[in-house]
Amino acid sequence: MDTNALLSRMRGGDELSRKEKVTLAWHLSMPSILSQLTNIAMQYIDAAMVGHLGSNEAAAIGLVASATWLFGGVSQSMNNGFTIQTAQYIGAGENKRARDILWQSFFAMFFYSAMIALIGIGLSGPLPSMLGGDPAIKGMATTYFRIYSAAIPISTMGALFGTMIQVSGNMKTPGILYSCMCILDVIYNYFFIFSAREITLGSIKIIAPGAGLGVAGAAIGTGMAQLTVALIMLYWLLKRTPALHLKKGEKHRFSARDLKKAGGLALPIVFERMVVSGAMVLITKIVAPLGVVAIAANSFSVTVESLCYMPGYGVEDASTTIIGQCIGAGRKKTAVSFGKIVILFGMILMTVTGALMFIFAPWMIGIMTRDKAICDLSVQVLRIEAFAEPLFAASIVAAGVLRGAGDTFVPSIMNFASLWLVRLPLSAFLAPRFGLRGVWIAMATELCVRGIIFLVRFAGGKWVDKGIVLANKE
């Protein structure tokens, strides 16, 4: 079934059947789930390849992992200010206004992400010490974070291009390109991380080239993969996306109103990313005194768990597209109906992935490290976390529904309260008593609390009145 045809019918005022709504949610979610999985697979690849160099190398990346989430999240979350507007203007049939927003987003996001990159580069030296890292890993951690920071404009612009294609209704192309990025990451990483080596293929021996850069090579390889795919995304957006490709002779100007609206939508999400990632940084400080094994186990476990919850973020992307276009078209009742469908879908999906993680945790960790102590501890904490996945899914997908409607402020406050009033105090209390297990018990408890409050916000229904494009067809 053609998803663009269903979206067009919805925008035009047709009432879709329940089956058609489920079909649309499924077809929009699947490519985005694939793109999210391949995105986290790149982190999995980095961790696995570097993990084979040694526990210190793995711990070096693990030490600054929370800081990379902070800087990357703060940079990319500003994209939402432009993509939410774009989705709603497309839903309202105002494609010229959508292209105006797109044009402005290119310049605004490049300069914004470049500023974040410079701050990251400046902090890369003292950061490992600020996080309480072991002297043996500080140098490698600094190098990794410095290179990661330099590539922030690439990752941010690539994410902007991909999301703009998605909110136009095309989830398939970004999904395919993100899969290609995963493959490119393996190729680039292999070359940059490892030294030249002899490989035997049957009776044939060849010398595989390699730069031998270790931890630094992991950051460079990922940056190169992101750059390659970002350029392809840009081409597709400008040349092959009907609603958004920039037309020759069409004039676009910066609008203070549009930029103010983008800031109003995105700043709560930026704040949310800051408090979420800031909490992760503080949790890293709580984990750091537990030793190198705990740091590495925490890093590996977070990466494995990401494979479990990234499908939820794929459904979130699809929900933002669907709800944004519904609200833009003035279809409030349809938006609520779709919201229920995608939230339930996300919860079912992550219940399944949580069960799989519980069963296959030893194998998933074993791919990244052979250290028995790290493996054993990682498996224990992952099995604690598995029980929180259904309600974690509710919070993820409900957040996408609310943001698609333009409701960004209250959800950000809810995330802040949940993390800083539940997870952090509970982690600080349990870590000295139960070690890393205590930290993950706190995490699982907080995720359940977060899911409940997001479901309450969705059920309240006030979010449907937050639309940018004021229309009322229902």
Q: Which of 52-56, 177-181, 196-200, 468-472 has the lowest mean pLDDT?
A: 468-472
Tens digit of pLDDT for each residue in 277-311? 778 778 888 998 998 899 889 988 988 888 888 88
- Vertex 308, ends 362 and 419: CA angle to 5°? 110
| pLDDT mean over 192-210 | 82
- Picking from 468, 122, 436, the residue whose alpha carbon sits closest to that of residue 287 is 436
The pLDDT, as a whole number, for residue 39 is 61
**Is residue 472's pLDDT more than 50?**
no
Q: State the pLDDT at residue 13.
A: 80
Instruction: Return the SS3 of 15.
Output: coil
Residue 246 — very low, low, confident or very high, per pLDDT cuts 50/70/90?
confident
Residue 468 has pLDDT above 70, yes or no: no
pTM: 0.79
Residue 52 in 3-state DSSP? coil
| Axis crossing angle, helix 389-404 with helix 292-328, rounded to the nearest 10 | 40
CB 63 within 8 A of CB 382: no
Q: How far is CA 396 from CA 29, 117, 247, in A?
A: 13, 27, 36
Token pair, residue 308, equals 């479990």
- Predicted pLDDT at 469: 55
HSE-up (13 A, CA, CB side) for residue 173: 20
The DSSP bridge partners found for residue 207 are 198
Q: Please state, in angstroms and rounded to a whole number, the distance separating the CA atoms of residues 126 and 260.
A: 35
Residue 160 banded pLDDT, cuts 50, 70, 90: very high
DSSP 290: G
The enclosing H or E element of 199 equals strand 195-201
Q: How far apart are CA 219 and CA 213, in angstroms?
A: 10
Query: What pLDDT was estimated at residue 471?
Result: 46
Q: What is the pLDDT of residue 111?
A: 97
Supply φ then ψ for residue 208, to 5 degrees: -85, 125
On the question of pLDDT at 16 being above 70, the answer is: yes
Are 408 and 80 in contact by the 8 Å Cβ rule? The answer is yes
- Tell me the C-alpha distance between 233 and 160, whole Å: 9
Nearest Cα residue to 101 out of 274, 313, 266: 266
Burial category of 150 from C-beta neighbours within 10 Å (exposed 0-12, middle 13-18, buried 19 and up): middle
Instruction: Yes or no: say if 448 and 308 are a contact pair by the CB < 8 Å rule.
Output: no
Cβ proximity of 345 and 25 under 8 Å:
yes
Q: What is the DSSP string of 235-287?
A: HHHHHH-TTTPPPTT------HHHHHHHHHHHHHHHHHHHHHHHHHHHHHHHH
